[in-house]
């Protein structure tokens, strides 16, 4: 089971940059094609920008053409939570970090095999760790 991290919004605001806070704590989004990991191709792991939980692996990343980093699966089902999101007049599935509740992005059922899912994730909600780095 993933550890649960609970902080006040004030504590998160002190720890995070304004952009990371806006995206992860206020459920914001980046403009398409503006995030640092959209075209990122390095080998490694993508971690939660708030708590460093291992969320996605570069082996599961693909170019969806959507303008956001896209993955067909998380590192495990236990690291993310999914909730219905009806904001902006749409029905979508929001993806959250299981450990700290950070808003990561959304998942859509139009991804590639083997899962058919497209985890469309904001770069601001992620940090990258190159494989082999400690």
**CATH number of the domain that residue 99 is part of:** 2.170.150.20
Q: What phi and psi values does residue 84 have, to the nearest 5 degrees?
A: -65, 135
Q: Report the domain count for the chain.
A: 1
Kindly state whether residue 89 falls inside one of the protein's structural domains: yes
Would residue 126 count as lying in a domain? yes
Q: Is the pLDDT of residue 61 over 90?
A: yes
Does residue 133 carry a pLDDT above 90?
no
pLDDT at 4: 87
How many angstroms separate the CA atoms of 26 and 11, rounded? 14
pTM assigned to the model = 0.93
Q: Is residue 106 part of a domain?
A: yes
* pLDDT level of residue 2 (50, 70, 90 thresholds): low
With a CB cutoff of 8 Å and minimum separation 6, the contacts of 7 are: 15, 100
Q: Does residue 1 fall inside a structural domain? A: no
Residues designated as active site: 120
Boundaries of domain holding 68: 9-130
């Amino acid at each position: 089971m993933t550890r649960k991290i609970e902080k006040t919004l004030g504590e998160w605001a002190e720890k995070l940059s304004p952009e990371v806070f806006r995206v992860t704590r206020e459920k914001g989004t980046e403009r398409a094609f503006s995030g640092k990991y959209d075209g990122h191709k390095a080998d490694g792991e993508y971690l939660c920008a708030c708590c460093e939980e291992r969320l996605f692996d570069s082996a599961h990343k693909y170019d969806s053409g959507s303008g956001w980093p896209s993955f067909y699966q998380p590192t495990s089902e236990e690291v993310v939570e999914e909730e219905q999101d009806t904001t902006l007049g749409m029905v979508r599935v929001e993806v959250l970090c299981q450990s700290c509740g950070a808003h990561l992005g959304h998942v859509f059922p139009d991804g590639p095999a083997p899962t058919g899912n497209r985890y469309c994730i904001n770069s601001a909600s992620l940090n990258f760790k190159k494989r082999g780095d400690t």
